[in-house]
């Protein structure tokens, strides 16, 4: 059997990090088996669904590199088909009209609550003569669910899960206004899309029993289920907007690479031995939904940082330059010059091992494009005392004829320190402060090479000129 899976988010907000992992698991499962990965937007909640949320979901999936197959299915556009299936069940005697008014249903629940029973529809109209129907109450259509026996789900993650049918009432499948309910819509869409495996969060496990009963009433093939545990934060609570960062686009803004986030998310609940760094290609080769654990996964931002740092170190310098330049240009309020871009490109091999995010990388690259005169940090300013500035003034002249290459510059600086009978650090430390405005940076000679001779000498002269 060929595999067809789907990711079916509701467009009521951003793409949640848990939803992104669900999409990733579906994507990997489909690609592993050479199957199909479909996308369905479950936009039947018209009051809460927005075009902006649809755009955010599509952008998030595209950024993560989770390309779907075929056309996007908009669930709201299929409402007539859902209603048609409800009427098919009605005609087959597997569903019925229920004329209970809201007041009757409220009274039913109150009575059950007072008697200590679970609150559920009691089947008032299940076998009642429709001729007794009141004329002024528009009916709903309810599924005639089995009342005895069990509904069993053989779940790829949760194992065998069973519910007694007596615990499930006759759910509404078509409302009085003719609109379908969620469980019916999902079943019809999954059937019509040819979905073979439903991989989703375990908060949908209860829905699986309802949906299985609808499948069986329609005599349709029931897909295989895999209900994945939710993601918890470091404290063990379900990740939520109130308790931390959960939107995929926020991680993009914070400077995470999509391949790093994919790598980290696939390790939340699934593993391949002790491997922490797993390329998407390897994940496709190795991933199987049956290997996902039942326990909730803990989201650890520090681990994500470490994974992201790895992918930054491995990333192409030109790609990193583009990502960093975008942020630096926003900070500068102007476009970087070609000279500045070349400077950053030369500097990238020394910068990227020192950063865990693109934001951090841009911060560390800032001094390469910062406007002169460079403003030192308080610690760096302490290194620029009058005697140090005097040395820098003499150094600028000494370096004027130097070969501008890291190795040659280091030798030149050592010769200068010897000629002045001072320690190497007495020159190198103020030089770093003059060039970068900081006490920490990549190697000072690779900085000088990347800055170029004119810019380096200009910065040294600026710092030397501040002598009091």
b/e per residue, 197-225, with b = 16+ CB within 10 A? bbbbbbebbebbbbbbbbbebbeeebbbb
From the candidates 113, 238, 241, 385, give the one annotated as an active-site residue: 241
Active site residue 241: yes
User: Dihedral of the CA atoms 378, 381, 383, 384 (nearest 10)?
Assistant: -170
Say how far apart CA 51 and CA 455 lie, in whole Å.
49
Give the single-character DSSP code of 76.
Answer: G
What tokens appear for 311 in the block?
């992918």
User: How many residues in the chain?
Assistant: 468
Long-range contacts of 71-77 (CB under 8 A, 24+ apart): 72/39, 72/40, 72/41, 73/38, 73/39, 73/40, 73/41, 73/189, 73/193, 74/40, 74/41, 74/43, 75/8, 75/40, 75/41, 75/42, 75/43, 75/44, 75/185, 75/189, 76/43, 76/44, 76/46, 76/49
Q: Please state whether beta strands 95-98 and 159-164 pair in parallel, antiparallel, or not at all (unpaired).
A: unpaired
Instruction: Using alpha carbons, select from 384, 379, 381, 347 the residue that is nearest to residue 364.
Output: 347
* 3-state helix vs strand vs coil in the chain, percent to 5: 55, 10, 35
Beta bridge partners of 36: 4
Instruction: Using alpha carbons, select from 468, 466, 456 the residue that is nearest to residue 395.
Output: 456
Q: Please state whether beta strands 140-143 and 95-98 pair in parallel, antiparallel, or not at all (unpaired).
A: antiparallel
Residues marked active site are found at: 241
């Amino acid at each position: 059997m060929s595999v067809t899976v789907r990711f079916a988010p509701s467009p009521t907000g951003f793409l949640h990090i848990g939803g992104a992992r669900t999409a990733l698991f579906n994507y990997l499962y489909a690609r592993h088996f050479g199957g199909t990965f479909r996308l369905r937007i479950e936009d039947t909640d018209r009051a809460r669904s927005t075009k902006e949320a649809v755009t955010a979901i599509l952008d998030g999936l595209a950024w993560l590199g989770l390309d779907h197959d075929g056309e996007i299915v908009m669930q709201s556009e299929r409402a007539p088909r859902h209603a048609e299936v409800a009427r098919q069940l009605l005609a087959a005697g597997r569903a019925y009209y229920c004329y209970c008014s809201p007041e009757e249903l409220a009274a039913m629940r109150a009575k059950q609550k007072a008697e200590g029973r679970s609150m559920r529809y009691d089947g008032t109209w299940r076998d009642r003569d429709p001729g007794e129907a009141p004329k002024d109450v528009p009916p709903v259509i309810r599924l005639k669910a089995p009342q005895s026996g069990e509904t069993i789900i053989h779940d790829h993650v949760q194992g065998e899960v069973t519910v007694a049918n007596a615990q499930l009432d006759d759910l509404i499948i078509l409302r009085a206004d003719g609109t379908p309910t969620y469980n019916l819509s999902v079943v019809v869409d999954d059937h019509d899309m040819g979905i073979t495996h439903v991989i989703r969060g375990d908060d949908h496990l209860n829905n699986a029993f309802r949906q299985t009963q609808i499948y069986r009433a329609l005599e349709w093939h029931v897909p295989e289920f895999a209900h994945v545990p939710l993601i918890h934060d470091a404290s063990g609570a379900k990740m939520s907007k109130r308790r931390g960062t959960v939107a995929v686009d926020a991680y993009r803004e914070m400077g995470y690479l999509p391949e790093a986030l994919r790598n980290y998310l696939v390790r939340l609940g699934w593993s391949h031995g002790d491997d922490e760094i797993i390329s998407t290609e390897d994940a496709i080769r190795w991933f199987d939904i049956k290997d996902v654990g039942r326990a909730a996964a803990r989201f650890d931002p520090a681990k994500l940082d470490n994974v992201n740092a790895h992918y930054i170190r491995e990333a192409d310098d030109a790609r990193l330059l583009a990502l960093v330049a975008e942020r630096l240009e926003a900070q500068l309020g102007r476009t970087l010059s070609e000279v500045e871009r070349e400077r950053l490109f030369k500097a990238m091999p020394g910068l990227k091992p020192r950063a865990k995010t693109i934001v951090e990388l841009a911060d560390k690259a800032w001094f390469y494009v910062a406007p002169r005169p460079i403003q030192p940090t308080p610690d760096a300013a302490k290194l620029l005392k009058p005697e140090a500035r005097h040395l820098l003034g003499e150094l600028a002249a000494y370096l004027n004829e130097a070969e501008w290459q890291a190795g040659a510059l280091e030798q030149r600086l050592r010769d200068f320190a010897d000629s002045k009978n001072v320690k190497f650090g007495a020159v190198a430390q103020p030089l770093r402060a003059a060039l970068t405005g900081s006490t920490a940076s990549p190697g000072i000679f690779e900085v000088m090479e990347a800055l170029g001779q004119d810019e380096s000498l200009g910065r040294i002269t600026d710092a030397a000129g501040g002598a009091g």
